[in-house]
Amino acid sequence: MSTRRKFIKNASIIGAGLFLAPQFSYSSNGSKNDKLNIGMIGVGLRGTHHLNNLLLRKDVNITAVCDIDPVRIDLVLKSIENAGAKKPEVFGKNEYDYRNLLALEEVDAVIISTPWLWHTLMTKEAMLANKYAGVEVSAANTLEECWDLVNTHEQTGTHMMILENVNYRRDVMAVLNMVRQNVFDELVHFRCGYQHDLREVKFNNGKQPYGGGVEFGEKSTSEAQWRTLHSVKRNGDVYPTHGIGPIAAMANINRGNRFVSMTSNATKAIGLHNHVVKGGGENHPNAKIKFKQGDVITSVIETANQETIVVTHDCNLPRPYSLGFRVQGANGLWEVDGNRIYIEGKSKPHQWDTATSWLEKYDHPLWKKYGEYAEGAGHGGMDFFVLNAFVESAKQNIAPPMDAYDAAAWSAITPLSEVSIEKNGEPQEFPDFTRGKWVKRQPYNWIKDSH
Ligand SMILES: NC(=O)c1ccc[n+]([C@@H]2O[C@H](COP(=O)([O-])OP(=O)(O)OC[C@H]3O[C@@H](n4cnc5c(N)ncnc54)[C@H](O)[C@@H]3O)[C@@H](O)[C@H]2O)c1
């Protein structure tokens, strides 16, 4: 019997065991066979981080790893050996060798942490191979890819989860808890975005990922090898999910609500050019490149429930990190910048309160339960939670908290923003990836069902 089928059989025994600490074996008898067998596809910076967090768990085996870079393979094999775990099967002799990993019987689930252009294809083929698929963000680059995820999930009945870790950030989950307890009353408006100075990520000297330098593509390492090209070629919000994921959960997107339409506008593109000139001089070949991606891209989404969501992409200029969250309802609002909140009847009229005591009061049950473990000793904080949700969902073969419909709707912001910008801010309709099911789908219960 496949290990996964055993999990399903055991699910009734465990029942409410969703809150069991991960260091406890999932199995009722603790036998080794009841572990989830995971294959890792892509073990660069992010994949290695996931791997190291997985190696701390007693309920998973890493049975296979795949990466086209032998340096990364050597590194993870050492980590696996140091953790005292069995050597996994190794793949990566070419870009499609992951297909041989997907063919393995002893892989139940895969974690995909490759560059963006591989995400949909690998996730789709994983589902076709009956592997529970976890994919890094974003999940898709085009509307066609968004549909591919949904269609393949529906055709195969196999689940996929978009591994959006920010949905598990402590303040975000506390605010979600406040939303569910109606602290803001009826929701009206949201803001969010990815506002992160990535100049040191998009360029390096080919030795260290963050070691300075102005090279990208083949002369560079890690994300500069592939991410920067998106800024050269595409004028759109290429990384929407860290911002939109948490807001979509609060607004019950695809579960009683949905994204209906969106307008996007982009500023001029000067940040990356200035960075190259500053580091490499005006005569550096990269100083001649005309970057297509506007430095600040602003999208406004309208939802079926008549809320608006402002989504910002701001990664090419000097600035401190912020996801810029704002959650506003009929009774008040929270803003992450300034750590402030205003609730009518509780706050002094027209005056902000610091949000700290509110966030503590509404600390999410998951964080109360696991917070100390997650934040201590490098267990990953929010990354522990997103991985835990993936592992627990895969073990029971149940729908994950963030599914194919979420992956499609959130990722669709990228292609829709590109078209809207191209057409001077013309509104773009979101496809209804649920094909009408959003009307009846129940809100995900992040309090009761979360794991
Ligand atoms: N959620 C987060 O907080 C977070 C943080 C960092 C990165 N990410 C996401 O994780 C993903 C990976 O980012 P990263 O920083 O690890 O990039 P990276 O460039 O360091 O790693 C990507 C790895 O994929 C490998 N790869 C490329 N094509 C492959 C193929 N066909 N088969 C097998 N391996 C292949 C590369 O050799 C590389 O080791 C991206 O989607 C990124 O946006 C998410």
Q: What is the DSSP string of 17-64?
A: GGGS-TTS-SSSS--GGGSEEEEEE--SHHHHHHHHHHTT-SSEEEEE
Cα-Cα-Cα-Cα dihedral sign, residues 174, 414, 263, 273: positive
Cα angle for residues 48, 110, 209 (degrees, 5° grid) = 25
CB neighbour class for 345 (10 Å; exposed up to 12, middle 13-18, buried from 19):
exposed
Cis preceding-peptide flag for 138 (omega within 30 of 0):
yes
Beta bridge partners of 40: 65, 111
For residue 209, which atom of ligand 1 is closest to its CA?
Answer: 20
Q: List every span in the chain annotated with CATH 3.40.50.720.
A: 3-165
DSSP E strand stretches across 186-339: 187-195, 259-266, 296-303, 308-314, 326-329, 332-335
Give, in order, the Cα–Cα distances in Å from 265 to each of 141, 298, 299: 18, 5, 6
In the sheet with 160-162, reading across from the earlier edge strand, the strands are 89-91, 60-66, 36-41, 109-112, 132-135, 160-162
Ligand 1 pocket, Cβ-based, cut-off 6 angstroms = 41-47, 66-69, 72, 92, 95, 98, 113-116, 118, 136-137, 165, 222-223, 225
Q: Does domain 3-165 fall into CATH 3.90.550.10?
A: no
**d(C-alpha 146, C-alpha 131), whole Å:** 19
Q: What are phi and psi of 122, to 5 degrees?
A: -65, -40
pTM of the model: 0.94
Distance of CA 412 from the midpoint of ligand 1 (Å): 20
Give the distance from CA 240 to its chain's centroid. 9
The CATH 3.30.360.10 portion of the chain extends over 167-363+404-439
Q: How far is the CA of 118 from the centre of ligand 1 (A)?
A: 9
Choose among 138, 114, 367: nearest CA to 242.
138
* Burial label, 377 (beta-carbon count in 10 A; 0-12, 13-18, 19+): exposed
d(CA 298, CA 89): 44
Mutate to test the pocket of ligand 1, among 89, 113, 145, 226 (most ligand atoms within 8 A of CB): 113
From the CA of 47, give the closest atom in ligand 1: 16
Q: What pairing do the DSSP bridges indicate for beta strands 308-314 and 187-195? A: parallel
Asked if the 167-363+404-439 domain carries CATH number 3.40.50.300, the reply is no
With beta carbons less than 8 A apart as the criterion, state whether 401 and 444 touch: yes
Per-residue pLDDT of the chain (451 residues; tens, 9 = 90+): 344 544 443 333 232 233 333 443 333 333 345 799 999 999 999 999 999 999 999 999 999 999 999 999 999 999 999 999 999 999 999 999 999 999 999 999 999 999 999 999 999 999 999 999 999 999 999 999 999 999 999 999 999 999 999 999 999 999 999 999 999 999 999 999 999 999 999 999 998 777 789 999 999 999 999 999 999 999 999 999 999 999 999 999 999 999 999 999 999 999 999 999 999 999 999 999 999 999 999 999 999 999 999 999 999 999 999 999 999 999 999 999 999 999 999 999 999 999 999 999 999 999 999 999 998 756 669 999 999 999 999 999 999 999 999 999 999 999 999 999 999 999 999 999 999 999 999 998 776 666 6
